[in-house]
Amino acid sequence: MNPARTETHLRHIAIIGNPNAGKTTLFNALTGMRQKVGNYPGVTVEKKEGRIAFEDGSEAVLLDLPGTYSLTANSPDEKVATDVLLGRIEDTPLPELVVCVVDASNLERNLYLISQVIDTHLPIVIALNMVDVAEKEGIVIDIMKLSEELGVTIIPTVGSKGTGIDELKEAIAKPVELSRKSRQWRLPEPVQRECDELKGMLQRTHHLTEPIAFHEAIVLLTSTAALAEHNDRYDPELIDHVRKDHKQLELLGIDRNSVVVESRYEWIKRVCASAIVTHRRNLNNTSDKIDRVLTHRIWGFIIFIGLMAVMFQAIFSWANIPMLMIGDAIGWIDLQIVQWMSPGDLRDLIVNGAVSGVGAVVTFLPQILFLFLFIGLLEDTGYMARAAFIMDRLMSKVGLHGKSFIPLLSSFACAIPGIMATRTIESRKDRLVTMLVSPLVSCSARLPVYALMIAAFIPQKRILGVFSMPGLTLVAMYLLGLTAALTMAWLFKKTLLKSETPAFIMELPPYKMPSLKSVGLHMWERSMLFLKKAGTIILGASIILWFLATYPKADHGSASERLDLSFAGRAGHLIEPLIKPLGFDWKIGIGLIGSVLQREVFVSTMGTIYNIRDAKQESGIMSLQEHMRRDVDPISGAPIFTTLTAICLMVYYVLAMQCLSTVAVMKRETNGWKWPIFQIGYMTALAYAVTFVVYRVGLLFMV
Amino acid sequence: MERTTLNKLLPGEHGTVERVDSKTSSIKQRLLEMGLTRGTTIEMIRFAPMGDPVEISVRGYRLSLRRVEAESVIVLQDVKQ
């Protein structure tokens, strides 16, 4: 059954607003936790929907449109927003009502988008958000007057405090049709005439609705690029007509690009003049004072690098306490099962396959929580935009945009949101380059691998009394990933995806106190995603790997010999000649095979491998690190893992593409297999080459 | 009043937008949409730590843009008395 059919009685409402206007906070407040995330058909823009429950028990679907400054369709995000509001997207009904979130402290620019939404003729309710901030800045808005000017119901809100939410809900439940003067802004006479004529032609020849015809008429009139693009979409006669219009307007000395924007802003100026009562203009000095330090030539950098350093040091040391506790709890669960179940394959499967596999991953949840706490705070306070502002010069050196920094920074948590965050980048090539290099940045899934290898093999020495060797090694791994990403980006921009450095036109929103609720919600969402992965993919992988490592069963020999003869051992041996030059043995080979799925599987594989070998001695649960440190080559007696092996392994994990989910996202985002396959190829080659060099050079220096 | 381009303003200096003259129409469009239309007053706030991009104040909010992009904004600079 088509689920859409059962929902046809539900009203569909869209919510739209400028970035930083507080749209997400209002969306969360209106829908609570009842949200689902999907994708628009054919494009890569995230589609977020929620349900609003009204007082009378009825419900409506609330669609969260991407944050955008305009409906000009310069980026995929803008295009989706535009198409939804024009009813041009499959599977997405034309909204019956549009909730426009407007930042009251930034009315002029926010009204630009509103003027475009008004043009769609859809019923509108405006949430005039952040009225408290506006008041503090001395901006007093006559809401009655503004409502009258726009012909739209306006509800003042303070999203961060939950003020006005009930009133907003009520206005959405029973929208009042105000008499709206049709299209309030006007183009200068000759342009208006051409526009009307073109609109009429589009309506007649192509049977477009009035709002779509108007939108298209404006696009065709103003943009030469759009005209070329739409060449085959429209009647040749119509295209000829547009070309003539262009020439005519040129003769009249009218700048087609600016005339529409200027006419809208003219209208906005009139609206603001009558609706804003500015008593005094206290500019938000606090943000300025903060920026004087945070974007200072010297201090700005020191603080930026310091913040990053604190973030990693904290992830590594603070998270240690809960990690140990979780580790203990899992050990306890293992013990209980071992005590209460009789020995056999099933107990083996549960203890060595399921519990140890999932347990090894859940242990790293605290680190992931810390990482998302930091990223959430940086985003919510407004520092993220400053990071782009500070880093843009560097990013432009490799041919990228400061905005690429945000996807790259997000990739520290996970390449998947990182790759998805690239959709704010307007140029296709730059977006592709950013997506290609994002997985080189060390994501949280690598952290378990680094953490295991560092804790086991990097000595606990202190340097300069403050920094510890383990901490510095971790920072080095992160820096390696970032360096590799930037170098590869530069290389791609020079060769494969040659194009000009993209524009950098970005708002710097005022700093604000982070909302703990939204940061918390973000952490919760991301941890759940991580746990779900741990619970499904990793559980499945652990069981498969346990099976591969247990069967076919040999009746005699030591645990090590039996593993040697298993499917996994054979596969590990099979690839051993390939990875021997990197200093890896067949056990690491098994780990690498498992990591094809996901990097953190390495840890659970090691857990499974080493637990199996000691399944006979149930004297106690030794930590995995201990096992790995003690493991020796049965022939030579040399340790399997040395500090050098550990470093090589980490380097390999920094650079290699070992994540099926990322491959899947790449496939979806690029609409085909070409780029994900290219990505796997270049990353594997890079990882192999660099690890080889590190190993060979390391052998010269290390004993 | 002195005609110049936005990238030439120093922090603290004010000006009025005369026109945007970018060769790339999408950049021009974006600058206009962000509010840099004719007659809009702007103030140069600061330069990024590495000198580029720059931060300006326009229509009551803060916008950052690169020097190359700022170069395409023709402004009439207020000359201090």
- What's A28's domain CATH number? 3.40.50.300
pLDDT over threshold 60, residue A625: yes
CB contact under 8 A, B38 and A262: yes
- Residue A144 domain-assigned? yes
CB contact under 8 A, B69 and A262: no
Q: Identify the band that residue A619 occupies on the pLDDT scale cut at 50, 70 and 90.
A: very low
Write down the pLDDT at residue A183: 66
Q: Identify the band that residue A647 occupies on the pLDDT scale cut at 50, 70 and 90.
A: very high
Q: Identify the band that residue A365 occupies on the pLDDT scale cut at 50, 70 and 90.
A: confident
Write down the pLDDT at residue A600: 75
The Cα-based distances of A201 to A87, A208, A239, A618 in angstroms read 20, 9, 11, 83
One domain, residues A81 and A122: yes
Where is average pLDDT lowest: A322-326, A358-362, B26-30? A358-362
Tokens encoding B49: 């730590």
Write down the pLDDT at residue A430: 85
Are A530 and A368 spatial neighbours (Cβ–Cβ below 8 Å)?
Answer: yes
Are A104 and A129 spatial neighbours (Cβ–Cβ below 8 Å)?
Answer: yes
Most confident of A213-227, A373-387, A500-514, B53-67: B53-67
pLDDT digits (tens, 9 = 90+) for A468-496: 888 889 889 989 999 999 999 999 988 87
Domain that holds residue B65: 2-77
Helix, strand, coil percentages (3-state) for chain A, rounded to 5, are 65, 10, 30
Helix/strand/coil for B29: helix
One domain, residues A524 and A671: yes
- Residue A14 domain-assigned? yes
CB contact under 8 A, A258 and B38: yes
CB contact under 8 A, B29 and A257: yes
What is the full DSSP assignment across A560-576? HHHHHHSHHHHHHHHHH
B3 touches chain A (CB under 8 A): no
Write down the pLDDT at residue A536: 67
Of A113, A139, A173, the residue at which a domain comes to its end is: A173
pLDDT over threshold 60, residue A4: no
One domain, residues A463 and A524: no
In whole angstroms, give the CA distance from residue B63 to residue A507: 4
By DSSP bridging, strand A97-103 and strand A124-129 are parallel
Write down the pLDDT at residue A617: 38
Domain that holds residue A228: 189-253
Write down the pLDDT at residue A623: 66
In whole angstroms, give the CA distance from residue A236 to residue A291: 54
| Burial class for A335, CB neighbours closer than 10 Å (0-12, 13-18, 19+) | middle
- Residue A269 domain-assigned? no
More confident residue, B67 or A257: B67
pLDDT over threshold 70, residue A679: yes
- List chain A residues with CB under 8 Å of B27: 503, 505
One domain, residues A86 and A211: no
Query: Closest Cα partner for A198 from A214, A182, A222?
Result: A214
Write down the pLDDT at residue A1: 39
Write down the pLDDT at residue A470: 85
DSSP conformation class of A160: G
- List chain B residues with CB under 8 Å of A225: 25-26
- Residue A362 domain-assigned? no
Of A442, A460, A494, the residue at which a domain comes to its end is: A494
**The CATH number of the domain where B38 resides is what?**
2.30.30.90
Smallest CA–CA separation between B8 and chain A, in Å? Answer: 17
- Residue A211 domain-assigned? yes
pLDDT over threshold 90, residue A76: no
In whole angstroms, give the CA distance from residue A339 to residue A335: 6
Percentage with pLDDT > 70 across chain A? 87
pLDDT over threshold 50, residue A621: no
CB contact under 8 A, A505 and B64: yes
- Residue A357 domain-assigned? no
B10: alpha, beta or left? (left if phi > 0; alpha if psi -120 to 50): beta
Write down the pLDDT at residue A261: 94
**Given B25, B52, B59, which is nearest A108 (Cβ)?**
B59
Write down the pLDDT at residue A614: 45
Are A551 and A369 spatial neighbours (Cβ–Cβ below 8 Å)?
Answer: no
One domain, residues A50 and A162: yes
- List chain A residues with CB under 8 Å of B51: 393
Q: How many domains does chain B have?
A: 1
Q: How many domains does chain A have?
A: 4
One domain, residues A559 and A454: no
One domain, residues A471 and A552: no
One domain, residues A146 and A14: yes
In whole angstroms, give the CA distance from residue A331 to residue A353: 14
pTM (2 d.p.): 0.79
Number of A/B CB contacts below 8 angstroms equals: 125
pLDDT over threshold 80, residue A665: no
pLDDT over threshold 60, residue A506: yes
Tokens encoding A194: 């051409």
One domain, residues A164 and A210: no
Mean of pLDDT over chain A: 83
The Cα-based distances of A327 to A320, A355, A455, A489, A536 in angstroms read 10, 11, 14, 39, 20
CB contact under 8 A, B37 and A257: no
Q: What are the contacts of A5-10 at 24+ separation with CB within 8 A?
A: A7/A61, A10/A59, A10/A60, A10/A61
- List chain A residues with CB under 8 Å of B20: 258
A69 touches chain B (CB under 8 A): yes
Are A647 and A698 spatial neighbours (Cβ–Cβ below 8 Å)?
Answer: yes
Smallest CA–CA separation between B21 and chain A, in Å? Answer: 10
Tell me the residue ranges of DSSP E strands in chain B.
2-5, 14-20, 41-47, 54-58, 61-65, 73-77
ipTM given for this complex:
0.95
| Burial class for A303, CB neighbours closer than 10 Å (0-12, 13-18, 19+) | middle
pLDDT over threshold 60, residue A533: no
What letters, b where the CB count within 10 A reaches 16 and e where it falls short, cover A100-139? bbbbbbbbbbbbbbbbbbbbbebbbbbbbbbbbbbbebeb
- List chain A residues with CB under 8 Å of B59: 106, 108-109
Smallest CA–CA separation between A3 and chain B, in Å? Answer: 39
In whole angstroms, give the CA distance from residue A506 to residue A644: 44
pLDDT over threshold 80, residue A250: yes
pLDDT over threshold 80, residue A406: no
- Residue A271 domain-assigned? no
Write down the pLDDT at residue A138: 85
A2: alpha, beta or left? (left if phi > 0; alpha if psi -120 to 50): beta
A276: alpha, beta or left? (left if phi > 0; alpha if psi -120 to 50): beta
Are A141 and A273 spatial neighbours (Cβ–Cβ below 8 Å)?
Answer: no
What is the biggest distance separating any 2 CA atoms in chain B, rounded to whole angstroms? 37
Sign of the Cα pseudo-torsion (A603, A605, A606, A607, in order): positive
Write down the pLDDT at residue A266: 94
Q: What angle do CA A432, A433, A437 make, to 5 degrees?
A: 115
pLDDT over threshold 80, residue A262: yes
Where is average pLDDT lowest: A125-139, A333-347, A415-429, B66-80? A415-429
- Residue A221 domain-assigned? yes
Q: What angle do CA A225, A265, B66 make, to 5 degrees?
A: 60
pLDDT digits (tens, 9 = 90+) for B10-56: 999 999 999 998 888 888 889 999 999 999 999 999 999 989 899 99
One domain, residues A638 and A539: yes
**Given A301, A394, A508, which is nearest B62 (Cβ)?**
A508
One domain, residues A579 and A525: yes
pLDDT digits (tens, 9 = 90+) for A294-312: 888 888 888 988 887 777 6
